[in-house]
């Protein structure tokens, strides 16, 4: 009788205020939340809600999943929600789904979702949970950037949960594996929305002055994609480098110094017009694109760690 009374006085989890239940669920791990969703229909809907899974994505993936990746995911959701006849036009025979941007010969694959047919009903109502699980399983190849020595390169990445690393692939005469075993530290979300096949429109050229840290687009051939290279704005040869008398910031010429190279190296310095938004360079020296100024000390320190020559050849 006493046990019956105790059970009768127990408060069901579903009887808790919504805010209290939400606080409890936020403390669960993704695996625990999935198990909780299997208890009953009511908890299934609550545990699969987007706002809970958005938190998990931000906590684990926030540094490398940027706006471009979210937009690509939304593109897949829109396609999957389309009429079945339209969907079948986008899905390949192996059940994969991908999106493209740009024009031939610099056609870029924006993202890639493997075996998406079984996700059609699941994606419709629980897109953030589906995104998290697709990332964890490695089925969603998402756009991001990887540090590769002296440059940053755009690519598609797939997570290898077994080794807690990533695989990457890029287009080079067809989609090829670019590498595997890539660590979290070497990945970042793209800081701009510009595809790698397009010249970035700079918004900082008027303000650039000697000592500013930048990243600049560069490619070896006109038909290839841009990479991002780290550089520092330098002084003109005619400048006495006295801060009180320096007029370099008023010059129409920008001196771009790649300090990872020693003095005298052909790639050490480039002189570019400040107000020309067109592509600069040629077949012998490569092609320079847009510039983005680095405002974050974290970004600058990352490059200094990767490029020790920056400290040696000042």
The DSSP line for 63-118 is TT--HHHHHHHHHHHHHHHS-HHHHHHHS-TTS-EEEEES-TTS-EEEEEESS-GG
CA angle at residue 53 from 47 to 55, to 5 degrees? 125
Burial of 114 (0-12, 13-18, 19+ CB in 10 A): middle
**Residues 61-114: tens digit of each pLDDT:** 999 999 999 998 988 887 776 655 344 555 555 557 777 766 666 667 788 888
% of the chain with per-residue pLDDT over 90: 43
Mean pLDDT of 166-178: 75
Residue whose pair of structure tokens reads 């397009």 in the numeric block: 198
pLDDT of residue 264: 85
Q: In angstroms, how far is CA 150 from the centroid of its own chain? A: 18
Tokens of 162: 């077994």
For the chain, where are the alpha helices, taking DSSP H only? 2-9, 18-26, 30-37, 41-47, 50-61, 67-81, 84-90, 120-125, 127-137, 297-306, 309-312
Mapped onto helix, strand or coil, the DSSP state of residue 306 is: helix
The mean-pLDDT minimum among 129-143, 192-206, 272-286 falls in 272-286
Residue 92 CB coordination number (10 Å): 11
Instruction: Tell whether the model's pLDDT for residue 6 goes beyond 80.
Output: no
**Residues 27-55: tens digit of each pLDDT:** 989 999 989 888 888 888 888 888 999 99
Residue 254 CB coordination number (10 Å): 26
CA angle at residue 137 from 133 to 141, to 5 degrees? 95
pLDDT tier at 146, thresholds 50, 70, 90: very high
Instruction: Tell whether the model's pLDDT for residue 241 goes beyond 80.
Output: no
Mapped onto helix, strand or coil, the DSSP state of residue 32 is: helix
pLDDT of residue 10: 63
pLDDT tier at 172, thresholds 50, 70, 90: low
Instruction: Tell whether the model's pLDDT for residue 313 goes beyond 50.
Output: no
What residue spans define the domains of the chain? 10-47, 61-188, 205-312
């Amino acid at each position: 009788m006493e046990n019956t009374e105790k059970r009768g006085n127990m408060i069901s989890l579903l009887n808790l205020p919504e805010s209290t239940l939400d606080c409890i669920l936020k403390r669960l791990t993704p695996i625990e939340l999935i198990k909780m969703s299997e208890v009953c229909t009511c908890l299934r809907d609550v545990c699969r809600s987007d706002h809970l899974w958005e938190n998990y994505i931000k906590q684990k993936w926030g540094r490398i999943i940027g706006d471009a990746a979210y937009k690509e995911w939304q593109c897949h959701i829109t396609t999957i929600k389309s009429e079945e006849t339209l969907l079948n036009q986008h899905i390949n025979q192996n059940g994969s789904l991908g999106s493209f941007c740009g024009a031939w010969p610099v056609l870029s694959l924006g993202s890639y979702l493997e075996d998406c047919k079984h996700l059609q009903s699941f994606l419709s109502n629980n897109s953030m949970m589906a995104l998290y699980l697709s990332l964890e399983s490695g089925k969603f190849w998402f756009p991001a950037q990887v540090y590769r020595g002296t440059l940053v390169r755009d690519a598609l990445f797939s997570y290898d949960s077994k080794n807690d690393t990533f695989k990457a692939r890029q287009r080079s005469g067809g989609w090829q594996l670019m590498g595997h075993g890539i660590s979290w530290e070497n990945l970042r979300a793209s800081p701009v929305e510009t595809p790698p096949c397009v010249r970035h429109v700079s918004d900082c050229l008027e303000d650039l002055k000697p000592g500013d840290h930048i990243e600049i687009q560069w490619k070896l051939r006109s038909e290839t994609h841009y990479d991002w290279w780290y550089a520092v704005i330098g002084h003109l040869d005619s400048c006495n480098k006295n801060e009180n008398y320096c007029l370099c910031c008023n010059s129409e010429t920008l001196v771009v110094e790649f300090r990872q190279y020693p003095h005298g190296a052909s790639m050490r310095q480039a002189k570019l017009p400040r107000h020309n938004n067109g592509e600069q360079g040629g077949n012998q020296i490569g092609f320079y694109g847009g510039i983005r100024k680095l405002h974050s000390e974290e970004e600058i320190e990352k490059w200094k760690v990767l490029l020790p020559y920056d400290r040696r050849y000042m």
